[in-house]
Structure 1
Amino acid sequence: MNEAPVALVTGAARRVGAAIVRRLHADGWRLAIHCGSSREEADALAAQLNTERPASAQVFSADLRREQAPAELIDAVRLRLGPPTALVNNASSYHPTPLASLTPAQIDELVATNLKAPLLLIQAALAAGALRQVVNLLDVHTRQQPRPGLSAYNAAKDGLWALTETLAVELAPAVRVNGVALGHIAAEVRAEPSEAERQDLIDKDAQLPHIPMRRFGTPAEVAAVVSWLLSEQAGYLAGAVIPVDGARRLV
């Protein structure tokens, strides 16, 4: 019987999420790979990992905008792999919402993916009985340099930052809750980029001259920080938010 602990990573089919999955798999975890619409890419990632180590990764599809989805996802992971010991909340939606045209539906979507789903996932994972560590993927700009035209996203993502600090106190000492605040991270885009990917590329082009490190971060660098936070070496760290932004927040 495979006794390796289970880590659930949301939004894990591509980009930063996939890099986190690969790194945690190399660390010896069994991986629950959550995806929304990118099932083909998630399946390919799981197949690769299972070739390296049989029965070490499974894919779970869920639309985290649905209120019941977080509890259903945790239950599916528990039944197929076992209750998750670690939860990495990476899934996120991101698109501009100028105040003049902002709609209730846009607010609901951005709050659901960036705040509500992570909170409900933590609640369900805690009830499943094995949860010991949570890492929330945050956006360094929502607190340090909030960008105009993104009011709903900024508010939801900054809410996740506050949630990270709140639950670090509420769930200690049984569960360690920490965050990783991302700056601009280089990542592949589809041949036909989504609106969020197009906006991300525009942001990157504008921001590069202002990043003290003079480059973008990489998904592997983000994954390395997540890996360390889930390790015993970070055993006394709780309620911390580690910026991975090349010092952009400081200028």
Structure 2
Amino acid sequence: MATWALITGASKRIGLAIARQLHSDGYNILIHYGQSAKEAQQLKDQLNDIRPNSAMMMQADLAEPKAVKRLTSDILAANISLSILINNASCFFPTPVGTSNFCQAQQILTTNLLSPYFLAEQLSDLLGQNQGCIINLLDIHAKRPLKDHGLYSISKAALEMATLSLAQELAPNIRVNGVSPGAILWPEQSLEQSQQAVLDAIPLGKLGQADDIAKLISHLVSATYISGQVIAVDGGRSAVGFKGA
């Protein structure tokens, strides 16, 4: 019987690529979405056309403090065999010093740090029954902050430490790893000049693709002796410094 993979933020961008990859690997996909109901429904229909009854969708605004508890309750009520949690959903916007406020901090930290952590905690019994795994989507800016995005960088740095802590505490029944994307997909409002500055700083000289992340996650899911690791997927950028954005 196929087991299920929960992917937060699964209907777009990197989350979409991960969902398609794990589905092709034979897993059933639990599509979490926040606001993108149309895209989530389209993905659900596509996956179920490929393999009937292999996808379902659940909504939760992970910026809301009570969302994780509701989502967990819905998952338990679905009575599925869950073996994978991919914490992909993320909140990203600039918060320059002097312009940010508590509400922005709460939104970023709840979405990017607290919700992934408590999802892992509250689903640990279910995941542990299947010798499951958790993979957190981090960012290369967890190690060196992105200018004007201090709260975002802080949230990803804290999630990296949470990844290592969870790997200790949830062993031996659950493996926990992190994946740190570099320049994979441009932010929707990025400028061409800043894009070129980033590309100039990447040894491989090109933008990564969402499938690069999805393929690594596919490997980590199947690699049963890897836990407590954070792997950068950045074209070599972290090896030479962080020039550019």
Under a length normalisation based on structure 2, what TM-score does the superposition of the two structures give? 0.92
Cα RMSD after superposing both structures:
1.6
Q: Which amino acid aligns with 1:242?
A: I
Deviates more, 1:71-80 or 1:25-34: 71-80
Out of 210, 220, 225, the residue aligned to residue 201 of structure 2 is 210
- The yes-or-no answer on 1:237 pairing with 2:234 is no
The 3 A distance-change label for structure 1 pair 249 and 89 is same
- The alpha carbon displacement at 1:149 in A equals 1.1
| Percent identity for Structure 1 against Structure 2 | 38
Partner Cα distance (2:4, 2:79) in 1: 7
1:102: Cα distance to partner?
A: 1.2
Distance 1:64 1:201, change over 3 A: farther
Is the CA contact 1:78–1:84 (under 8 Å) kept in the aligned structure 2? Answer: no
- What does 1:123-134 align with in structure 2 at a 5 Å threshold? 123-128=121-126, 130=129, 132-134=132-134
Q: 1:101, 1:178 → 2: CA distance? A: 34
Aligned to 2:135: 135
Where 2:120 maps in the other structure, the secondary structure is helix
Is 1:40 the equivalent of 2:38? yes
Q: Which runs of 5+ in 2 are unaligned?
A: 241-245
1:147 alignment partner in structure 2: 146
How many pairs were matched up? 238
| 8 Å Cα contact 2:142-2:160 kept in structure 1 | no
1:64 alignment counterpart = 62
Cα separation, partners in 2 of 1:22 and 1:201, compared to 1, 3 Å: farther
| Match 2:75 to one of 71, 74, 77 | 77
Distance in 1, matches of 2:191 and 2:57, equals 27
Cα deviation, 1:190-248, whole Å, max 9, x if unaligned, reads xxxxxx521487753430111111111111110000111111xx111110011100011
When normalised by structure 1's length, the TM-score is 0.90
What's the offset of the Cα at 1:128?
Answer: 3.6
Q: For 1:22 and 1:81, how far apart are their aligned partners in 2?
A: 23
1:83–1:199 CA distance, 2 compared to 1 (3 A): farther
Unaligned runs of 5+ in 1: 188-195
In the alignment, which residue of structure 2 is the partner of 1:191? none
Q: Is the 8 A contact 2:83 2:126 kept in 1?
A: no
Q: Pick closer, same or farther for the CA change 1:38–1:83 going to 2, 3 Å.
A: same
Could you list the structure 1 runs, at least 4 aligned residues long, displaced by more than 6 angstroms after superposition.
none
Cα distance in 2, alignment partners of residues 85 and 54 from structure 1:
19
Report if the CA contact (8 A) 2:181-2:234 is conserved.
yes
2:101 to 87, 100, 103: 103
Which of 206, 214, 221 is the matching residue for 2:212? Answer: 221
